[in-house]
Structure 1
Amino acid sequence: MGLLGAPKSRPWWWYLGPGFLVSVGYMDPGNWATSLEAGSRYGYSLLFMVTLASALAILFQALAARLGVATGKDLAEHLRERYPGTWGRLLFATAFLAMVATDLAEFMGMAVALNLLFGVNLVVASWLTLLDVFLLLYLDRFGVRAVEAAITLLVGVIGMAYAVEVVLARPEPRALLAHLFLPDPSLLQPGPLYVALGILGATVMPHNLFLHSAQVKSRMGEERRRVYRYLLLDTVLALGGAWLVNAAILVVAAAVFHTRGLAITDLGQAYHTLAPLLGPLAAWAFGVGLLASGLSSTTTGTLAAQVVVEGFLRARANPARTRLITRLLAVLPATLALNLHASPMELIVLSQVILSLQLPFTLFPLLALVNDSRVMGALRIRPWVRLLAWGGALLVLALNLILLVRALV
């Protein structure tokens, strides 16, 4: 307690955590695959798109955190109250479908990593990913900060893995810096443009918006502007780290594969190609980083599913039941598809198509909420933020629609 019994202000680092929890969604296996293809096909020329995608991610995640801080309610709770009846049930159905689709992409990356590192059959590896659900339930016993700490540790593993890769790859510093903040003219060509759309279009995922708006509630208790200021710092630091990791993936692909004329379109192909080019340490670091990416991102996916179920149904859901149902709904069709000789990348693409269809049902209501003074009070977004947010949302939606059309034709 402070002077005269007033609560003592907490230090800035006390607020760190929620941003790092959601940041793994921007370092998931789908992002890995996209950055690998971009770097191996077009060198450093698409590096600017990673920067732009990361900036949009920071913007939308900050708005989700702002909603949670201003109202003490998460996005799912707001959607239930704002859209009752049939429309609300439709929003719940699409949101839960998005959670399952997200889990499909995330656990498939983990399964691929187990296959690459230990030779585990992909179908068996898919079922082994169920174990991370029980790990999450165990961590829950120690509170939300234990989960955040575990995820932050895995984020550190991903970062260290790609730090090793960058050192071994020895990229060209001038080419790297020249493309990191400036767009390349080749972006207008059909081939690079499509891959660039992949980087941008898959950036904003519904589960991260639901999860972030809920997770910030664990940091309440002081003046809300001050809370949001520190949570914004948390978001910038965490997603800034995700930006560096995704940039590193593209840089390594450009330095190692593009310079040798090798186009990488599959995670397994990258793993098996790294060993003869850079040595076994590079392949091992890639596999470990991918495993950490899959484990951490699939954990946050199941957490987001619980937020959606509890928020829309206005009831405390059984964590074990919700997370197991979510995972089983993803694992069962995935293992069937693998038995029919579908590739992991095909399943990841399918999940992105589903997320593209669901995105407007999450992103646009979020923007409407943060612009409503009756909801946000003094934390309503300013006009310039509103313009930036709607412009970014329309851009992401357009890119997702283009990707969807290209995937279906």
Structure 2
Amino acid sequence: MAKKIIEKVVETPAKVLDKTIEESKKIGKAAVSERHLKKAKDYWEMLGPGLTTGASDDDPSGIATYSQAGSQFGYRLLWLAPFTFPLMAAVQEMCARIGLVTGRGLAANIRIHFPRSVLYISTLLLFIANAFNIGADLGAMAAATRLLFAQLSFSFLVVIFAVLILFLQIFSSYQKYAKYLKWLSLILLAYVFSVLMIEGLNWKEILIQTIRPTFSFNKDFIFIVCAVLGTTISPYLFFWQTSQEVEEAIERGRTNIKLRQDEVTDEEIKEMRLDIFSGMFFSNLVMFFIIVACAAVLNASGITDIKTAAQAAEALRPFAGDASYFLFTIGIIGTGLLGIPVLAGSSSYAFAESFGFREGLHKKLRQAYSFYGLIIISVLVGLILNFVGLDPIKALIWAAVINGLVAPVILAMIVVLSSNKKIMGDRVNHKFTTLVGWMITAMMALVGLLTIFQIIG
């Protein structure tokens, strides 16, 4: 008995120490977990225009392009995902920086520093290209929805989607609408999950093809490479990104240009870059997974001709299963809800800034009739195209031709603007950034010419 008492007495300090260590570990783990959660939350809250711009690039038309790349050429074009990421990020960073530093949208800056005739022609062509894209995207959303609900008519769905998109874009406050677009961008994860559900993927081959570029001078190969580049580095993204940075500054209380120019901080520039790089990485990651899905399933099964995103989803079903099919289809609808507002909004920003109209999603309908009127017209034109026998492939071809003409011109002006110390002050391009900008401009000029020659030829 005495032995047990003595034993309990002497072991008590050791037990207390052991318990303290255990509790400390638990507290430490909880603290680390909370710290990680806080970091994740802070990161998510920091993301904004860069994420939504990048995500909007993967609209139904883009999905169709990536699906065709994977189904036609298998894994051979996977290298385009890492290749286009830094190019896309460099361009969008210049656009965002122009918006932050000048306090104006891209078209407003071009209007001040370049001949207006160039701006007016570019804006008109942008509007036409975006209208074709909107029409194709509305049709793709309706077609995808009918894969899940065949009893609903195509015409009904096209109208419903157009009305829904306009209602949200016009009648939501900018703060709410920006959050809506941000959360909607997560729908793109459906493409990641759809691939992870495919069994028997050859990840070694996928990795090799991702880091080892392959090229062919075959006409079809060149055309699809040009199509992917034209989809990822597209003029509407330039205008949207720049104007969204201005919108964000206005949300922070900088309601006039002088305030926006004077109060931009190094921390905001740093956060903008992280936002841009995150958004463009996400965009290209999704492109990567779409190509993988279509290469692994469709190309491997001998299906090499995919014209639309809905067709890709339908073709996947027998081979990849219902889950992948469902996720792919839901992704088409979600990306349309994200991409069409960006297409319509970019046209409206460009037009309104070109002609000095009052503009901005932060304004209410009655404060900016012209701006919102242009959004309505853009979506209505796209809607009408679906009722006049729109061939989505031809629509996208015309959009590609127009973008091929416009992109190099706009890119050249972006590089000049962001390299001008009088305009950008200390936040002017680094020499390397300017060099990269001109290289991208030259590349896109070549891509545009090749695209046009291939279509005409």
Which deviations, in whole Å up to 9, do the C-alpha atoms of 1:90-110 show, x marking residues without a partner? 343233334323423433332
Q: Which secondary structure does the structure 2 equivalent of 1:337 belong to? A: coil
Pairing of 1:265-344 with structure 2 (within 5 A): 265-266=306-307, 267-316=309-358, 317-318=368-369, 319-338=371-390, 342=391, 344=392
Between the two proteins, the alignment pairs up a number of residues equal to 391
Asked if structure 2 preserves the Cα contact closer than 8 Å seen for 1:96 and 1:305, the reply is yes
The structure-2 alpha-carbon separation of the partners of 1:201 and 1:89, relative to structure 1 and needing over 3 Å to count, comes to: closer
Which deviations, in whole Å up to 9, do the C-alpha atoms of 1:237-281 show, x marking residues without a partner? 111111111100000111111222221312333222222212222
Pairing of 1:369-384 with structure 2 (within 5 A): 369-384=417-432
Asked if 1:238 is matched to 2:279, the reply is: yes
- Shifted more, 256-265 versus 219-228: the winner is 219-228
Deviation, structure 1 residue 375: 0.8
Asked if 1:224 is matched to 2:276, the reply is: no
Deviation, structure 1 residue 199: 1.4
Asked if structure 1 preserves the Cα contact closer than 8 Å seen for 2:96 and 2:242, the reply is yes
Deviation, structure 1 residue 209: 0.5
Letter of the 1:125 partner, please give it.
L
Letter of the 1:259 partner, please give it.
A
Letter of the 1:313 partner, please give it.
F
Asked if 1:136 is matched to 2:188, the reply is: no
Deviation, structure 1 residue 292: 0.6
Instruction: Provide TM-score, normalisation by structure 2.
Output: 0.80
Deviation, structure 1 residue 349: 2.3
Deviation, structure 1 residue 189: 4.4
Asked if structure 1 preserves the Cα contact closer than 8 Å seen for 2:190 and 2:328, the reply is no
Which ranges of structure 2 fall in alignment gaps of 5 or more residues? 1-41, 253-262, 359-367
Which ranges of structure 1 fall in alignment gaps of 5 or more residues? 1-10
Q: 2:212 maps to what in 1? A: 182
The structure-2 alpha-carbon separation of the partners of 1:13 and 1:153, relative to structure 1 and needing over 3 Å to count, comes to: closer
Asked if 1:207 is matched to 2:236, the reply is: yes
Q: State how far apart, in whole Å, the 2-side matches of 1:169 and 1:195 are.
A: 27
Asked if structure 2 preserves the Cα contact closer than 8 Å seen for 1:77 and 1:311, the reply is yes
Asked if 1:259 is matched to 2:300, the reply is: yes
Asked if structure 1 preserves the Cα contact closer than 8 Å seen for 2:100 and 2:245, the reply is yes
Which deviations, in whole Å up to 9, do the C-alpha atoms of 1:16-64 show, x marking residues without a partner? 2111121133211222112212212222111001221232111111110
Which deviations, in whole Å up to 9, do the C-alpha atoms of 1:130-160 show, x marking residues without a partner? 2211122232x2x3x3222212222211213
Q: 1:3 maps to what in 2? A: none
Rg: which structure is higher?
Answer: 2
Asked if 1:364 is matched to 2:412, the reply is: yes
Aligned CA RMSD, in angstroms, stands at: 2.2
Q: State how far apart, in whole Å, the 2-side matches of 1:388 and 1:85 are.
A: 26
The structure-2 alpha-carbon separation of the partners of 1:168 and 1:110, relative to structure 1 and needing over 3 Å to count, comes to: same
Deviation, structure 1 residue 217: 2.0
Q: State how far apart, in whole Å, the 2-side matches of 1:230 and 1:35 are.
A: 30
Letter of the 1:232 partner, please give it.
R
The structure-2 alpha-carbon separation of the partners of 1:58 and 1:264, relative to structure 1 and needing over 3 Å to count, comes to: same
Q: 1:150 maps to what in 2? A: 180
Letter of the 1:46 partner, please give it.
L
Letter of the 1:76 partner, please give it.
A
Q: 1:8 maps to what in 2? A: none
Which deviations, in whole Å up to 9, do the C-alpha atoms of 1:380-408 show, x marking residues without a partner? 10111111111011112211221121112
